[in-house]
Structure 1
Amino acid sequence: MHTEPQTARHPINRWQHPHRFSAINHTGERNTKLVLILTLVTMVAEITTGSLYGSMALLADGWHMGTHAAAFLLTLFTYYYARKHADNPAFAFGTGKVSVLGGYTSAILLGLVALFMLGESAIRLLSPAQIHYDQSILVAIIGLSINLLSAWLLKDHHHEHSHHHTHQHIPKQTDTPKNHHAHEHQHHQPQHHHDHNLTAAYMHVLADALTSVLAIAALLLAKYAGLNWLDPLMGIVGAIIIGRWAWGLIRQTSPVLLDADPDLAKQQLIRQRLAPLADHGIADLHLWRLNADQYALMLSLVSHQPKSSDAYRQLLTDLPWLAHITIETHTCEPAHCPGGTF
């Protein structure tokens, strides 16, 4: 019986690599849990005390704490989802943008809080309500103390980072096709990663702290100087400042989610690094974020004599923010390129 010879299979492990571009912030997640517990305890205490003693100020601040608890739950869910799906192949470049999406969503919620504050303060300014100064000042001081502690816990400390890893495919010159892809994946030495998810939670706490500071100042002036209109006016000022914070966070996160990088300096830097290559032209260059800090590059080069992928990699390898590189080269035939440079 004739048996077909079996062809030996070459291992391709050295050309394969995971696409896990997720900056897991265990410290931020742990501290957010502590802040959530602190917020929930304060919320229950204020609502219970306000109900027993008929204090609208305590009740209002207690339910206000509930909105921040919801924001912290969103932050924790984002951390959980990113960690759970970090190695899920359904995400082409990992879950690095999940944190950015969490920050964007929290920024929207923060903007809605600012609009609510603006509307409520405008109503109070037009139709002044009776204020229980002593209770309101006490609640504001308690809230400020809790917010300062929460802000200290949520301050974005330097957290866990990826370790250096490089994988590259260098085709042999003898069997390099005229059009080929040179694919490289690299992680650089540990560096600080920006966590938009934690930043959003931090801004919620700062917004509440700012509200408390403005409220204390307005209530003291209203109580001792009779300037009752300062309380709603400070509410309007706080709403405008919080709205600007929310807008700033939206402007930071939305380009990342849309693969739009307004920082053209990085593209220009890549072009400058490739400029020393003689007889090479850049046909296409795409640079986009994989998460808040790391970038992927897809590059298409044209040359009469393309080089190996290692030659191109050496020009870009020291850029710490460039984590994933794919290079495509095209050989320009003499019939199509009779002479000259690109």
Structure 2
Amino acid sequence: MNPHPHPNDLPAAHDHVFLGKNHQRNERRVWLVIALTATMMVVEIVAGTVYGSMALVADGWHMSTHAGAMLITALAYAYARRHARDTRFTFGTGKLGDLAGFASAVILALIALLIGWESFVRLANPVPISFNQAILVAVVGLAVNLVSAWLLRDDHEHHHHHGHDHQHGDDHGHEHARDNNLRSAYLHVMADALTSVLAIVALLLGRSYGWLWADPLMGLVGALVIARWSWGLIRDAGRVLLDAAPQSEEVRAEIREALAPTGDTITDLHVWQVGPGHFAAIVSLASVAPQAASAYKAMLAHIHELSHITLETEQLPAGSTA
């Protein structure tokens, strides 16, 4: 027997596909943004070389790090999609995006450190700036970043598709469907946009008042903001990877509420996120007269984000209490 059957060899009724509803759309958009970012990167490096602006050259290479980080996002989407039904992944590849988001957030933190260090160096040793050319390219860069941010926006259409015999209900909106992989690409674009805005302000001040120190000062401000964004993504993606997503508590509470009318005792309950908008649960019940598993699952059918349920029942002696 083939230990890793082709996706088409698996029973359609027992898929473990826990990808976000907009997985393929997000993947296409990330590739498009990578193309835009790479193009702008080349323009900045060439323009910086022609106009003698080291600031533009540095920003161009800075954009290359964001393009590289977004490449992680795109490849994670592609890998998760292609291996979604690979039986080696016990609960599918839905959490691969969180792994990629975590890695991308670490890169974002390193970028913040590099910007901060470069800003300190320029505060101590100011360099001449070709203001007009630098402002023009910074404005063009900001426009590209805004277009990219629009492409990567989170539409808050937190839906998902149920392709499992333990999954219930129609598509619906829910905050649990946050895609940390898309969020990481969005933050990289926003980091670029922020640095562009701060650069434009600093360059205008420098051109008008001769404040060369304004550029590195704005760089420090940008580094701090980017570092804060990075920490938020590291925290949220890390929680999902360690099965400690805060939303799990909400699903856990819904399960307890749904099963309360049975009078059975929940002796063990585990809930964890297996993908954007998808949660799995293991429920152990103790009862004098346990019901069929299908009856308990029917009671949980309204919890749409609960995509995989494993139930265990323990028969208690008549007259006993759990």
Aligned 1:96-115 pairs, distance under 5 A = 96-115=94-113
User: Structure 1 residues 157, 211: CA separation in 2 closer, same or farther (over 3 Å shift)?
Assistant: same
Partner of 1:6: none
For the residues of structure 1 that align with 2:251 and 2:17, how far apart are their CA atoms? 22
User: Structure 1 residues 266, 332: CA separation in 2 closer, same or farther (over 3 Å shift)?
Assistant: same
User: Structure 1 residues 92, 28: CA separation in 2 closer, same or farther (over 3 Å shift)?
Assistant: same
2:206 is aligned with what amino acid?
Answer: A
Native 8 Å contact 1:302 1:330 kept in 2: yes
Native 8 Å contact 1:164 1:187 kept in 2: yes
**After the TM superposition, which of the residue ranges 63-72 and 249-258 deviates more from structure 2?**
63-72
Q: Does 1:72 align with 2:70?
A: yes
Native 8 Å contact 1:302 1:332 kept in 2: yes
Partner of 1:189: 170
**After the TM superposition, which of the residue ranges 155-164 and 282-291 deviates more from structure 2?**
155-164
Partner of 1:312: 296
Question: For 1:169-220, what per-residue CA distance to the aligned partner results, in whole angstroms no more than 9, with x for missing partners?
Answer: xxxxxxxxxxxxxxxx115322453221111111111111011111111221
Task: Identify the match of residue 19 of structure 1 among 16, 29, 45.
Answer: 16
1:259 is aligned with what amino acid?
Answer: D
Partner of 1:282: 266
Question: Aligned residue pairs: how many?
Answer: 308
For the residues of structure 1 that align with 2:45 and 2:162, how far apart are their CA atoms? 50
For the residues of structure 2 that align with 1:28 and 1:77, how far apart are their CA atoms? 12
2:259 is aligned with what amino acid?
Answer: L
For the residues of structure 1 that align with 2:87 and 2:12, how far apart are their CA atoms? 17
Native 8 Å contact 1:295 1:324 kept in 2: yes
Partner of 1:176: none
For the residues of structure 1 that align with 2:158 and 2:300, how far apart are their CA atoms? 25
Partner of 1:231: 215
Question: For 1:115-138, what per-residue CA distance to the aligned partner results, in whole angstroms no more than 9, with x for missing partners?
Answer: 111111122223322232222212
Aligned 1:145-164 pairs, distance under 5 A = 145-157=143-155, 162-164=160-162
Q: Does 1:246 align with 2:266?
A: no
Native 8 Å contact 1:74 1:102 kept in 2: yes
User: Structure 1 residues 276, 15: CA separation in 2 closer, same or farther (over 3 Å shift)?
Assistant: farther
User: Structure 1 residues 77, 290: CA separation in 2 closer, same or farther (over 3 Å shift)?
Assistant: same
| Deviation of 1:276 (Å) | 1.5
Aligned 1:2-41 pairs, distance under 5 A = 17-23=14-20, 25-41=23-39
Q: Does 1:143 align with 2:141?
A: yes
Q: Percent identity?
A: 49
Higher share of residues assigned helix: 2
Aligned 1:161-176 pairs, distance under 5 A = 162-164=160-162, 167=165
Q: Does 1:341 align with 2:321?
A: yes
Structure 1 gap segments, 5+ residues each? 1-12, 168-184
Task: Identify the match of residue 200 of structure 2 among 204, 212, 216.
Answer: 216
Secondary structure, in 3 states, of the residue corresponding to 2:268?
strand
Native 8 Å contact 1:118 1:235 kept in 2: yes
| Structure with greater Cα Rg | 1
For the residues of structure 1 that align with 2:231 and 2:210, how far apart are their CA atoms? 35
Native 8 Å contact 2:158 2:178 kept in 1: no
Secondary structure, in 3 states, of the residue corresponding to 2:271?
strand
Native 8 Å contact 2:31 2:74 kept in 1: yes
Q: Does 1:44 align with 2:42?
A: yes
For the residues of structure 1 that align with 2:168 and 2:199, how far apart are their CA atoms? 48
User: Structure 1 residues 321, 162: CA separation in 2 closer, same or farther (over 3 Å shift)?
Assistant: closer
Normalized against structure 2, the TM-score is what? 0.88
Native 8 Å contact 1:255 1:261 kept in 2: yes
Native 8 Å contact 2:53 2:129 kept in 1: no
Native 8 Å contact 1:28 1:156 kept in 2: no
User: Structure 1 residues 323, 99: CA separation in 2 closer, same or farther (over 3 Å shift)?
Assistant: same
**After the TM superposition, which of the residue ranges 118-127 and 315-324 deviates more from structure 2?**
118-127
Question: For 1:215-240, what per-residue CA distance to the aligned partner results, in whole angstroms no more than 9, with x for missing partners?
Answer: 11122112212333222111111111
**After the TM superposition, which of the residue ranges 210-219 and 117-126 deviates more from structure 2?**
117-126
For the residues of structure 2 that align with 1:41 and 1:273, how far apart are their CA atoms? 53
Structure 2 gap segments, 5+ residues each? 1-9
